[in-house]
Amino acid sequence: MEYEFLRDVTGQVIVKFSMGHEAIGHWLNDEVKGDLARVADVERQLHSLSGSLRQWQHIGHEFTLLIDAEEVMVRANGMSVECDALEEGLSYYDEESLSLCGSDDFLLMLSRYRQFIQTGG
């Protein structure tokens, strides 16, 4: 999973992720928006799930974050499109709407995100 932290002309943090992990970047850009309290809450939840079979979910405005002890899933809330409704030969494009990654990689990324924000990038 590759990513890059940037600032736009207004100083807002923008995150870009490699193909297959774009939804994580969209979640950070659209749901987190530099809110370090939310980052800390997600980190606490991930640590509390370590070694358990429990899951935790946060449904945001645009994306849902679903985590367990080993994996993180970010899914666009609008992904409930019925594929049966599409014409024959067409498929629903959802590459930027769903991303999975390991919990350890996700925690490392959140740590780097926090550091980027706190140091001014």
Strand, coil or helix: what is 1?
A: coil
- Count: domains in the chain: 1
Asked whether 36 and 16 are in contact (CB, 8 A), the reply is no
Q: Tell me the pLDDT band of 78, cut-offs 50, 70 and 90.
A: confident
83 pLDDT more than 60: no
Rounded Cα distance, 115 and 119, in Å: 6
Long-range contacts of the stretch 16-20 (C-beta < 8 A, 24+): 17/99, 19/95, 20/95, 20/99
Range of the domain at 89: 3-119
Phi and psi angles of residue 68, each rounded to the nearest 5 degrees, phi first = -135, -170
pLDDT digits (tens, 9 = 90+) for 1-49: 999 999 999 989 999 999 999 999 999 999 999 999 999 999 999 999 9
CA dihedral 16, 65, 99, 11 (to 10 degrees): 0
The pLDDT value given to residue 81 = 46
